[in-house]
């Protein structure tokens, strides 16, 4: 037994000695650089590309098997120019020799210095790396099997798979310095670059997380987009599961572009990000992202990292101030009528995202004091097709409108709204469809309750339909269209109002409290211009209105009629009423609108004991009115205390001409003295003419039924005319 053991030890010693002698011989006697050209030629044949090894090759065997290569160049694919696809200043790798005798693999630190990679895709879709991938796959397939002659006498082959043996693997790490990757997309004529790449991966056991630090500069042209970033994380790779896990990820950096006035800092912190390549899944644990004034929390999972990307998750954005954020993004912050508007915006939502679209579900958006909920999505990033269904509680939209240019205009809500410009730039190139509902929305100081608004935008045209709301105790329905595809934008309206409180509207829009009544009407109008004031001055269309149970405070129509009679008869005027007020049962009429002027020829109004008829015009652009009315007294107005019997008799069945002029918000109503005098003179002349004619006929002995020759009748008519002329001279 002892002799056998001695023999084994001797033989073993001899074998170890022979191995050591062989290693020393290779190390001292073998010069790998003598075979550099042969190695380059073999690599060229294997890859189908020109491979050059211009630097020194270094090989060591003991105590570790290591190789170092310098100045490596791999040529580009045909039709991609003379620039090499890959250049490498230095690469070094090695494994410890002694652990191999124990069935262990100890990989030393791999160093890659000065790596430059140029990738390109032509306009026809051809790229400069697919041939290398195909060559690598073919070589891998050949290495995965061995072909053995079965000895059966035929030409069949037997494929024998090698048995996999588990060995312990340790890893010294990976160091990459001064690397760069360039990717040219010929179809979009865009160039992407990853430069100044420094990477360090440290760890002892590949089955355990490895520490990774990385810094780089990424850019894209055109657009001058530039991202400078650095991050630290622990990375774990599971070969059998084909998963890559980033743990405790901490990313910081900045982004800049032509649109940004200055670099925008950002930061990202994540508990973990897991990429499962075998199942093509991506899981993002709670991740915090900070960009300029924005802070958000993100959780996501779904398919990825390979296409197609399809993620779902939740996002929460903390309250931020758009007025501070937008200028830092190179966007002018909107100037609002209320300086305190847009001070706090936040939202939280579930989301779905792909490479083509993105959507928000269960959205809660808070804008200052307003909360909206619902859904919002972009169905196609190519044309930014927007879809939405949102419901808000309450908003004063006037706060977010641009301020009036003139302080005097700003004091009047109606004029301030008129100076509002149509959103032409917003509509161009936009595609949207959706529904917006508000419990209460204030626009132009008009409170719209239970607002239901449908919006469609396409081809620079927008349609608001349906538009329904309760406004000033009444009901509004409309169809509003904006055509921004024209050189001058066009606005068209098809609207109806029912039982609207006219007094409340006059008070809110014009700061007037002198009217009462319930307004019903329909409006079919169209105009063009940049602002609502421009459009109002160019309106064309038709209008029909009915005003019921109304009153006009500040003017007493009966008093004006009585005062006019007194002036006409040169008698003392009646005492003024304590409260000037004119009531009416209804007012109705239709109008044709041309170039902002509404012309009405069928105005009809009923007041107690009185009817008004007439015609006139309203200049919508200037807000002025010019009407001629006839007031007809239907019966004796007994409620007029202090009126004489003669006065009451004169009013009964009388027709009194009136004129209404001035501003629409405060019109002046007074008798038309010129028409009143003209009618009186004409009436007096008719009476005198009849009386004189009858007297002359009596003196001549001519009765009403007498007949004469034609010549005699003509002579009598001339006598009558002369007599009338003489009588008129006597009157005046």
pLDDT of residue 166: 57
Looking at every residue in the chain, the average pLDDT score rounds to: 79
pLDDT of residue 433: 95
Pairing of strands 210-221, 157-160: unpaired
**Range in 23-27, 34-38, 326-330, 445-449 with the lowest mean pLDDT:** 23-27
For residues 144-159, average pLDDT: 44
Up-side HSE of residue 643: CA atoms within 13 Å toward CB?
Answer: 21
On whether the CB atoms of residues 81 and 146 are closer than 8 A, the answer is no
pLDDT tens for residues 453-494?
Answer: 999 999 889 999 999 999 989 999 999 999 988 888 999 999
**Range in 91-105, 158-172, 518-532 with the lowest mean pLDDT:** 158-172
For residues 581-588, average pLDDT: 82
C-alpha span between 634 and 640 (Å, rounded): 14
C-alpha span between 357 and 385 (Å, rounded): 9
C-alpha span between 236 and 494 (Å, rounded): 65
pLDDT of residue 683: 63
pLDDT of residue 138: 58
SS3 at position 603: strand
Residue 689 has pLDDT above 80, yes or no: no
Residue of higher predicted confidence among 234 and 688: 234
**Range in 30-39, 298-307, 483-492, 582-591 with the lowest mean pLDDT:** 30-39
DSSP 688-732: HHHHHHHHHHHHTT--TT----HHHHHHHHHHHHHHHHHHHHHH-
Residue 73 has pLDDT above 80, yes or no: yes
Per-residue confidence band for 164, with pLDDT thresholds at 50, 70 and 90 = very low
pLDDT of residue 456: 94
Continuous segment of H or E residues that includes residue 6: helix 2-29
pLDDT of residue 242: 80
Phi, psi of 405 (to 5 degrees): -70, -30
pLDDT of residue 295: 95
Number of other residues whose CB lies within 10 A of the CB of residue 696: 16
> Which residues have CB under 8 Å from 503's CB, separation 6+?
513, 515, 516, 517
Bridge partner residues of 617 (DSSP): 599, 626
Provide the token pair at 85: 């696809």
Residue 252 has pLDDT above 60, yes or no: yes
pLDDT of residue 541: 94
For residues 216-224, average pLDDT: 90
Residue 567 has pLDDT above 50, yes or no: yes
Q: How far apart are the first and last CA of the chain?
A: 169
Residue of higher predicted confidence among 696 and 440: 440
Q: How far is CA 684 from CA 456, 680, 689, in A?
A: 66, 6, 8
Residue of higher predicted confidence among 108 and 456: 456
pLDDT of residue 162: 42
pLDDT of residue 418: 60
For residues 99-120, average pLDDT: 83
pLDDT of residue 204: 72
Q: Which of 660, 661, 656 is nearest to 676 (CA)?
A: 656
Share of the chain above pLDDT 90, in %: 31
Residue 120 has pLDDT above 60, yes or no: yes
pLDDT of residue 152: 43
pLDDT of residue 142: 54
pLDDT of residue 155: 42
Per-residue confidence band for 29, with pLDDT thresholds at 50, 70 and 90 = very low
pLDDT of residue 363: 96
C-alpha span between 402 and 658 (Å, rounded): 42
pLDDT tens for residues 201-212?
Answer: 887 776 778 899
Continuous segment of H or E residues that includes residue 341: none
pLDDT of residue 685: 66
pLDDT of residue 450: 95
Residue of higher predicted confidence among 689 and 359: 359
- Can you give the pTM of this predicted structure? 0.67
pLDDT tens for residues 425-452?
Answer: 778 878 899 999 999 999 877 889 999 9
Q: How far is CA 66 from CA 55, 96, 326, 577, in A?
A: 16, 8, 56, 115
pLDDT tens for residues 311-360?
Answer: 999 999 999 999 888 888 888 888 888 989 999 999 999 999 998 899 99
Residue of higher predicted confidence among 296 and 578: 296
Q: Which of 233, 111, 102, 242 is nearest to 170 (CA)?
A: 102
For residues 404-420, average pLDDT: 52
SS3 at position 563: helix
pLDDT of residue 150: 42
Q: Which of 46, 54, 44, 45 is nearest to 75 (CA)?
A: 44
Per-residue confidence band for 421, with pLDDT thresholds at 50, 70 and 90 = confident
- Encode 159-228 in three state secondary structure: EECCCCCCCEEEECCEEEEEEEEEEEECCCCEEEEEEEEEEEEECCECCCCEEEEEEEEEEEECCCEEEE
Up-side HSE of residue 536: CA atoms within 13 Å toward CB?
Answer: 17
Task: Quote the crossing angle between the two packed helices 557-568 and 673-699, to the nearest 10°.
Answer: 50
DSSP 373-440: EEEEEEEETTTTEEEEEEEEEEEEGGGGSPPPSSHHHHT-HHHHHHTPBP-HHHHTT-EEEEEEEEEE
> Which residues have CB under 8 Å from 266's CB, separation 6+?
252, 253, 254, 255, 289, 290, 291, 292
Residue of higher predicted confidence among 35 and 115: 115
Per-residue confidence band for 584, with pLDDT thresholds at 50, 70 and 90 = confident
């Amino acid at each position: 037994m002892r002799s056998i053991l001695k023999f084994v030890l001797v033989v073993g010693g001899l074998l170890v000695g022979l191995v050591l002698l062989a290693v020393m011989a290779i190390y001292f006697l073998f010069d790998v650089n003598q075979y550099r050209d042969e190695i380059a030629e073999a690599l060229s044949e294997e890859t189908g590309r020109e491979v050059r090894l211009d630097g020194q090759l270094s090989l060591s065997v003991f105590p570790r098997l290591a190789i170092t290569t310098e100045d490596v160049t791999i040529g580009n694919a045909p039709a991609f120019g003379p620039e090499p696809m890959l250049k490498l200043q230095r690469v070094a790798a090695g494994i410890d020799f002694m652990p191999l005798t124990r069935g262990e693999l100890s990989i030393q630190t791999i160093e890659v210095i000065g790596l430059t990679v140029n990738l390109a895709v032509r306009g026809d879709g051809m790229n400069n790396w697919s041939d290398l991938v195909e060559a690598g796959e073919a070589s891998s397939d050949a290495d995965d099997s061995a072909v053995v002659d079965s000895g059966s006498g035929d030409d069949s082959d037997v494929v024998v798979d090698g048995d996999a043996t588990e060995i312990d693997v340790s890893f010294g790490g990976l160091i990459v310095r001064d690397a760069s990757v360039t990717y040219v997309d010929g179809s979009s004529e865009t160039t992407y670059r990853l430069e100044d790449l420094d990477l360090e991966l440290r760890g002892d056991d590949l089955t355990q997380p490895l520490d990774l630090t990385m810094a780089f500069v990424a850019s894209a042209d055109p657009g001058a987009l530039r991202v400078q970033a650095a991050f630290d994380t622990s990375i774990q790779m599971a070969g059998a599961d084909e998963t890559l896990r980033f743990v405790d990820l901490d990313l910081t950096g900045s982004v800049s572009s032509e649109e940004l006035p200055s670099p925008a800092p950002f930061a990202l912190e994540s508990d973990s990000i897991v990429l499962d390549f075998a199942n093509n899944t991506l899981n993002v644990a709670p991740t915090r992202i900070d960009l300029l004034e924005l802070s958000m929390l993100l959780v996501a999972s779904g398919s990825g990292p390979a296409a197609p990307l399809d993620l779902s998750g939740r996002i929460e954005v903390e309250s931020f101030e758009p007025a501070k954020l937008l200028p830092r993004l190179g966007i002018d912050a909107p100037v609002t009528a209320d300086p305190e508007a847009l001070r706090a915006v936040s939202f939280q939502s579930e989301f779905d995202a792909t490479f083509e679209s993105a959507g928000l579900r269960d959205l809660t958006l808070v804008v200052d004091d307003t909360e909206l909920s619902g859904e919002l999505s972009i169905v196609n990033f190519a044309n930014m097709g927007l879809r939405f269904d949102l419901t808000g509680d309450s908003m004063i939209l006037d706060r977010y409108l641009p301020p009036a240019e003139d302080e005097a205009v700003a004091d009047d809500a109606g004029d301030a709204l008129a100076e509002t410009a149509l959103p032409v730039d917003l509509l161009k190139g936009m595609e949207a469809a959706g529904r917006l509902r508000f419990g209460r929305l204030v626009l132009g100081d008009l409170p719209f309750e239970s607002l239901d608004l449908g919006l469609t935008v396409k081809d620079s045209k927008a349609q608001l339909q349906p538009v329904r709301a309760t406004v000033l105790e009444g009901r509004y329905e409309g169809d509003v269209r904006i055509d921004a595809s024209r050189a001058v934008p066009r606005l068209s309206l098809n609207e109806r109002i029912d039982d609207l409180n006219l007094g409340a509207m006059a008070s809110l829009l014009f700061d007037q409290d002198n009217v009462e009544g319930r307004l019903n009407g329909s409006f079919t109008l169209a105009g063009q211009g940049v602002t609502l004031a421009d459009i109002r001055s160019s309106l064309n269309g038709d209008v029909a209105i009915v005003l019921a149970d109304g009153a006009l405070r500040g003017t007493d129509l009966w008093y004006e009629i009585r005062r006019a009679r007194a002036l006409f008869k040169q008698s003392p005027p009646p005492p003024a009423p304590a409260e000037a007020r004119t009531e009416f049962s209804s007012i109705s009429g239709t109008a044709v609108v041309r170039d902002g002027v509404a012309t009405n020829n069928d105005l009809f109004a009923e007041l107690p004991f009185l009817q008004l008829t007439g015609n006139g015009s309203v200049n919508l652009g200037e807000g002025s009115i010019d009407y001629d009315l006839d007031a007809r007294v239907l019966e004796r107005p007994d409620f007029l205390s202090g009126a004489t019997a003669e006065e009451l008799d004169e009013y009964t069945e009388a027709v009194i001409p009136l004129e209404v002029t001035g501003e629409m918000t405060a019109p002046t109503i007074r008798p038309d003295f010129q028409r009143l005098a003209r009618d009186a003179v004409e009436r007096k002349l008719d009476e005198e003419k009849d009386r004189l004619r009858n007297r002359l006929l009596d003196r001549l002995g001519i009765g009403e039924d007498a007949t004469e020759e034609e010549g005699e009748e003509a002579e009598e008519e001339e006598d009558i005319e002369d007599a009338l002329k003489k009588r008129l001279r006597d009157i005046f």
